Chain A
Amino acid sequence: MDIRINPFHELYVTETIGPDRFVKLFSPFLVEQTLALFQPGNVILKGVQGSGKSMLLGLLKPEIRIAYAKANEDFPIKGEFSKFIGAGINLTMCGILDFGQRPIITEKTDEKEHLPIYFGDFFNYWIVADIINSIEKLSNELDGKIARELGIITDKTRFNEAAIALAADDCWFGYFEGIKDIPSLKQRLFERITSYRAFLNYNKEEIPSDIRQTKTSVGIPISITAQKFREHGIVPKDVNFYIRIDQFEQLGRLEGLSSNLGPLYKQVINKAIGRRDSRVSYRIGSRRYGWRDELRIYSTDSSLEESRDYKIIDLDELLRRQESSRGIFPAFADDVFSRRLMDFFPHEKFPIKIKNVFGSGLTPSNLAKKYAGTSPRRIIQIESSWPKPWVDFLNNLADNDPFCARLAEAWPRQLGKEKKEVIFKITQDRPFPWEKQYWKKERTYQALMQIAGRCGERMLWSGVDDIISLSGGNILAFISICQHIWDAWLRDMRGIEIQNYKMPEINPVTQAVGIYEASAHWYEKIAIEAGGNERKRFFEYIGTMFHKRMYEDSAMSNPGHNGFSLKESELSSDNEVRRFLDDAVDFGDLHDAPHTTKTKDKAKRKKWYLNPILSPYFRIPVIHTKEPMYVNVQDVRKWISDANATTEGLPVKSNTQSKKPSNEKQLILFPIKKNKD
Chain B
Amino acid sequence: MLGNHFRPWGQLAWIFNKIQNKKWSLLGCLSTEERCLASFHLIKAYDHLGNLFFLQINDPPSKFTKITSEILEKRRRDFISLGGKTSEIEEHELFENYNKLVDSIEQFIKKSTGNIIMDISSFPKRFFFPIVRLLMRSSEIENLIITYTVPEKYSQNDLAEDPQTWLPLPLFGPQKFPEPEVKVALVGVGFIAFGLPELLRNEYSKASVKLFFPFPPGPPTYQRTWEFVRQIEKYFPLQSSNQIIRVGALDVSTTFSHICNETSDGTKNAIFAPYGPKPISLAMCVYASLTNSPVYYTQPKTYNPDYCTGIKYINGIPEIYGYSLRLGGRNFYFI
Contact = CB atoms under 8 A, between A and B. Distances in A.
Same complex for A and B? Answer yes
A14 B201 contact: yes
Given A101-B97, A256-B95, A528-B193, A201 B203 contact: no
A669 interface: no
A186 to B, nearest CB: 9
Interface string B220-255: 000000000001001101000000000000000000
B279 interface: no
B98 A101 contact: yes
Interface string B177-193: 11000000000000011
A198 B237 contact: no
A54 B175 contact: no
B162 A201 contact: no
A142 interface: no
A534 B176 CA distance: 38
User: From DSSP, what is the main secondary structure of chain B's interface residues?
Assistant: loop
Interface in A157-196: 190, 193-194
Given A102-B97, A647-B61, A256 B167 contact: yes
Interface in A497-531: 521, 525, 527-531
Pick the most buried of B60, B102, B134, B161: most chain A CB atoms within 10 A of its CB. Answer: B161
Chain A interface size range = 35 or more
B9 interface: no
Nearest to B203: A93
B148 interface: no
A534 B302 CA distance: 11
Contact of B60 (A90, A190, A255, A483): A255
A255 B301 contact: yes
Contact of B202 (A54, A258, A483, A527): A54
Contact of B164 (A17, A94, A95, A256): A256
Nearest to B95: A255
B168 A95 contact: yes
Contacts of A71: none
Contacts of A525: 231
B165 to A, nearest CB: 5
B165 A254 contact: yes
A90 B234 CA distance: 25
Given A190-B177, A201-B171, A250 B165 contact: yes
A16 interface: yes
Contact of B194 (A14, A97, A200, A528): A528
Nearest to B233: A9
B175 A194 contact: yes
Contacts of B97: 100-102, 256, 258
B319 to A, nearest CB: 31
B13 to A, nearest CB: 35
Contacts of B99: 101-103
Given A202-B102, A528-B192, A644-B63, A194 B166 contact: no
B171 A202 contact: yes
Given A102-B99, A194-B176, A194-B177, A529 B195 contact: yes
A303 interface: no
Interface string B137-167: 0000000000000000000001001111111
Contacts of B202: 14, 54
Contacts of B166: 92-93
A34 B11 CA distance: 62
A66 interface: no
B156 to A, nearest CB: 16
Given A92-B166, A528-B192, A12 B174 contact: no
Interface string A233-262: 000000000000001001001111010000
A277 interface: no
A327 interface: no
Contacts of B62: 647-648
B104 interface: no
A200 B61 contact: no
6 contacts: A93-B166, A98-B173, A101-B99, A254-B165, A530-B163, A647-B302
Minimum-distance CB pairs A-B, first 6: A16-B205, A533-B161, A255-B95, A193-B177, A102-B99, A197-B175
